[in-house]
């Protein structure tokens, strides 16, 4: 006499958790499930050798509550034994109410179609137990259940939702040898206490039998599926409505507890995003452990918005703005004057950002230094009060009145202009100009950095050049300050001024200045031109929007070219400044064309060039 068919149902609750993922992976490797044609949403595998049919149903959050309950009801009516996989050793109240609702539907449906009365086992993850070992134990218990059901001496299945006393109802390993935490012990103890009460709450005593063949089961399951889908259109929606009403009454208390938990975890004063994120995640996890997954998914976005509003409205939220020098704003969350803000933040206090720090910076002509607030925006940095009355009066109109602030320490020797040559008329070197590159750190230290003459290694050509020409020359924007080299915050000095003294005979002018951002240098490839060549500068990411064009000068006139603060203190995209050597200032060829050695475009009284 052939063995009767045994139908094993497997319900996966929260299939995205680590423990259930491990079990599903091992099951799919051993039991190769395929989509079931008789019932939508089910996966099946028929073991013809042992005459066992495995059914897999995973909780899909994209399904409506009504459709999920119908599929769950179909599985309970067409299986001999059901394993319910939970990711944690806890069965919430919603699961208990769901089991009771399924039991109340069994009697009326049994009169409409032939149905089975399955036994039920809960598979849960115990604290501090590897998920792979849990999967192995579950697989062993599953094989044992199949052997007991197909045994010739096996009795009829036990009543609905009950497990025989000789069989383990909870498939979970014991607590490991190491002493568990108090919370882990309490969780496992609560589950062992509540699991028998769940089973006793849904006891019933129907008569049931096994199917003779897989064909008979397929015919019966199709009938059950049709009955559940069409004959009971009112019962399942009522179950869903009752469940929603139940959680509507319970959720306010859970949300209030989560909010109090967040407030207790946070400090009493202002705090930043890191503390807020850790505390809010803890409160969200508390709710996740208290409600079923489908309720949590709907509740989480609103709860996060509520916690964020508490953080912002209570005045505890620190302003997240970071200055161009990498310092945080010390104010609580606020609005910035003139900036657009969302309507939800319209009633916040309006104030400017402030880090509490200030930097020393020289004016455009270089004669005066003043303290400037830490800038938070490129536009604000460029608009700082760097143009003073001394700059407007052009005190630096001649080389004799040129003013230099010498800082003690750097081995720079006597202050003197470097000589730079210019090409004009057939590639001949003309009378040199004088040039000085002055650097300044945030503490106010100023020093000179020498840059080689770009024509020192330049090979002239015999062709006529109808304009004055400087070969390209790269100059660093950042250097280490020798005065404050032990202070990491202010150890970087920025190129602040380029002083140019015109030659005694025209034409004479300043070089064109282009500020650009260069990627870190790559290993030099064979047969490749030097990186400073304009034809091979393929590692340049950005050329600044503002370039400083060459300026024609009267003979023996000194001019100060002030480098804008924005380019000294920021990266492309208005991001916070991180000191490195990737900023370069390129002195390009001049842009002023001359018909000959004499030019009518020379200006008589140049202003300070910015």
The CA distance from 99 to 202, in Å, is 7
By CB neighbour count within 10 A (0-12 exposed, 13-18 middle, 19+ buried), where does 64 fall?
A: exposed
Which region among 87-96, 135-144, 360-369, 565-574 has the lowest average model confidence (pLDDT)?
565-574
Q: How confident is the model at residue 420 (pLDDT cuts 50, 70, 90)?
A: confident
* Mean pLDDT within 96-124: 64
β-strands 6-12, 81-85: how paired?
A: parallel
pLDDT for the residue numbered 128: 55
Is residue 579 scored above 50 in pLDDT? no
pLDDT for the residue numbered 382: 58
- Residue 12 pairs in a beta bridge with 58, 85
pLDDT for the residue numbered 161: 36
* Mean pLDDT within 97-116: 62
Query: What residues contact 365, with CB distance under 8 A and at least 6 apart?
Result: 388, 390, 391, 394, 395, 396, 403, 560, 562, 608
pLDDT for the residue numbered 587: 63
pLDDT for the residue numbered 200: 45
The CA distance from 185 to 536, in Å, is 68
Q: How confident is the model at residue 12 (pLDDT cuts 50, 70, 90)?
A: confident
CB distance 571 to 577 below 8 Å = yes
| Overall size of the chain counted in residues | 610
β-strands 43-47, 119-123: how paired?
A: unpaired
* Mean pLDDT within 106-127: 64
Q: For residue 143, give the 3-state DSSP assignment.
A: helix
CB distance 161 to 81 below 8 Å = no
- Residue 467 pairs in a beta bridge with 593
CB distance 402 to 396 below 8 Å = yes
The CA distance from 534 to 411, in Å, is 33
Is residue 343 scored above 60 in pLDDT? yes
pLDDT for the residue numbered 112: 56
Tens digit of each residue's pLDDT (9 = 90 or more) over 441-491: 877 888 888 887 776 655 555 444 555 566 777 787 778 887 776 665 557
> Scanning the structure block, which residue is given the tokens 């089973």?
199
By CB neighbour count within 10 A (0-12 exposed, 13-18 middle, 19+ buried), where does 440 fall?
A: buried
* Mean pLDDT within 124-151: 65
> Scanning the structure block, which residue is given the tokens 């290993």?
523
Nearest of 290, 296, 253 to residue 90 by alpha carbon: 290
Task: Residue 49: count other Cβ atoms within 10 Å of its Cβ.
Answer: 6
Structure tokens at 14: 């929260």
DSSP 8-state assignment for residue 170: E
Q: Is the peptide bond before 507 cis (omega within 30 degrees of 0)?
A: yes
Which region among 254-258, 321-325, 548-552, 559-563 has the lowest average model confidence (pLDDT)?
548-552
DSSP 8-state assignment for residue 553: -
More confident residue, 502 or 537: 502
Nearest of 429, 406, 419, 440 to residue 569 by alpha carbon: 440
Tens digit of each residue's pLDDT (9 = 90 or more) over 501-524: 887 776 666 777 776 655 544 544
Mean pLDDT over all residues of the chain? 65
Helix (H) or strand (E) holding 249: helix 235-265
Got the DSSP string for 173-229? PPPPSSPPPHHHHHHHHHHHHHHHHHHHHT--------BSSHHHHHHHHHHHHHIII
Q: How confident is the model at residue 499 (pLDDT cuts 50, 70, 90)?
A: confident
* Mean pLDDT within 66-90: 75
The CA distance from 400 to 413, in Å, is 19
Instruction: Specify which of 248-257, 310-319, 507-516 reaches the highest per-range mean pLDDT.
Output: 310-319
DSSP 8-state assignment for residue 102: H
Query: What residues contact 474, with CB distance under 8 A and at least 6 apart?
Result: 532, 584, 585, 586, 587
More confident residue, 542 or 465: 465
pLDDT for the residue numbered 205: 34
The CA distance from 135 to 31, in Å, is 13
Is residue 582 scored above 80 in pLDDT? no
Helix (H) or strand (E) holding 514: strand 512-518
> What global pTM score does this model have?
0.45
pLDDT for the residue numbered 314: 73
Tens digit of each residue's pLDDT (9 = 90 or more) over 181-207: 565 555 555 545 544 444 444 333 333
pLDDT for the residue numbered 404: 53
The CA distance from 499 to 606, in Å, is 13
Is residue 242 scored above 60 in pLDDT? no
* Mean pLDDT within 16-36: 68
pLDDT for the residue numbered 29: 65
Q: What are phi and psi for residue 29, nearest 5 degrees?
A: -75, -35
């Amino acid at each position: 006499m052939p063995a009767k068919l045994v139908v094993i149902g497997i319900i996966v609750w929260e299939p995205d958790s680590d423990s259930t993922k491990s079990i599903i992976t091992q099951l799919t490797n051993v039991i190769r499930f395929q989509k079931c044609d008789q019932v939508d949403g089910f996966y099946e595998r028929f073991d013809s050798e042992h005459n066992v049919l495995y059914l897999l149903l995973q909780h899909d959050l994209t399904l409506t509550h009504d459709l999920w309950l119908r599929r769950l009801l179909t599985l309970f009516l067409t299986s001999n034994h059901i394993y319910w996989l939970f990711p944690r050793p806890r069965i919430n109240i919603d699961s208990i109410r769901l089991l009771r609702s399924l039991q109340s539907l069994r009697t009326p449906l049994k009169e409409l179609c032939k149905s089975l009365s399955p036994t039920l086992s809960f598979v849960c993850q115990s604290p501090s137990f590897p998920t792979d070992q849990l999967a192995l134990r579950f697989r062993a218990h599953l094989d044992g259940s199949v052997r007991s059901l197909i045994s010739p001496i096996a009795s009829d299945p036990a009543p609905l939702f009950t497990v025989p006393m000789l069989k383990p109802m909870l498939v979970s390993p014991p607590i490991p040898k190491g002493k568990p935490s108090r919370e882990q012990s309490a969780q496992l103890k609560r589950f062992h206490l509540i699991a028998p009460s769940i089973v006793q709450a849904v006891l019933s005593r129907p008569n049931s039998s096994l199917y003779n063949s897989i064909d008979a089961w397929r015919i019966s399951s199709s009938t059950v599926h049709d009955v559940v889908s069409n004959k009971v259109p009112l019962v399942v929606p009522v179950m869903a409505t009752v469940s929603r009403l139940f959680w509507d009454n319970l959720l306010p208390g859970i949300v209030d507890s989560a909010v109090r938990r967040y407030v207790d975890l946070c400090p009493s004063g202002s705090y930043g995003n890191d503390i807020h994120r850790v505390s809010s995640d803890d409160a969200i996890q508390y709710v996740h452990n208290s409600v079923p997954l489908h309720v949590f998914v709907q509740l989480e976005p609103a709860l996060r918005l509520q916690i964020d509003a508490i953080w912002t409205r209570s005045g505890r939220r620190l302003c997240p703005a970071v200055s161009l020098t990498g310092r945080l704003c010390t104010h609580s969350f606020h609005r910035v004057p003139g900036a657009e803000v969302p309507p939800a933040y319209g009633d916040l206090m309006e104030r400017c950002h402030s880090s509490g720090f200030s930097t020393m910076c020289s004016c455009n002509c270089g004669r005066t230094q003043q303290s400037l607030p830490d800038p938070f925006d490129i536009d604000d940095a460029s608009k700082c009060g760097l143009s003073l009355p001394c700059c407007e009066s052009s005190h630096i109109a001649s080389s004799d009145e040129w003013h230099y602030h010498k800082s003690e320490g750097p081995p720079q020797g006597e202050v003197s202009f470097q000589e730079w040559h210019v090409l004009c008329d057939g590639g001949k070197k003309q009378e040199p100009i004088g040039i000085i590159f002055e650097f300044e750190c945030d503490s106010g230290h100023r020093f000179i950095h020498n840059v080689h003459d770009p024509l020192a290694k330049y090979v002239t050509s015999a062709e006529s050049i109808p304009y004055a020409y400087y070969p390209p020359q790269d100059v660093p924007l950042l250097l280490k300050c020798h005065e404050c080299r032990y202070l990491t915050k202010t150890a970087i000095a920025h190129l602040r001024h380029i002083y140019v003294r015109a030659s005694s005979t025209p034409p004479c002018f300043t070089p064109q200045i282009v500020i650009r951002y260069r990627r870190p240098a790559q290993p030099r490839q064979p047969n490749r031109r030097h990186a400073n060549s304009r034809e091979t500068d393929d590692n340049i990411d950005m050329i600044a929007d503002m370039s400083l064009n060459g300026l024609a000068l009267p003979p023996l006139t000194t001019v100060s070219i002030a480098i804008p603060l924005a380019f000294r203190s920021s990266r492309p995209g208005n991001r916070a400044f991180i000191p490195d050597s990737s900023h370069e200032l390129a002195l390009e060829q001049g842009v002023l064309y001359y018909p000959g050695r004499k030019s009518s475009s020379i200006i008589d009284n140049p202003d300070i060039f910015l």
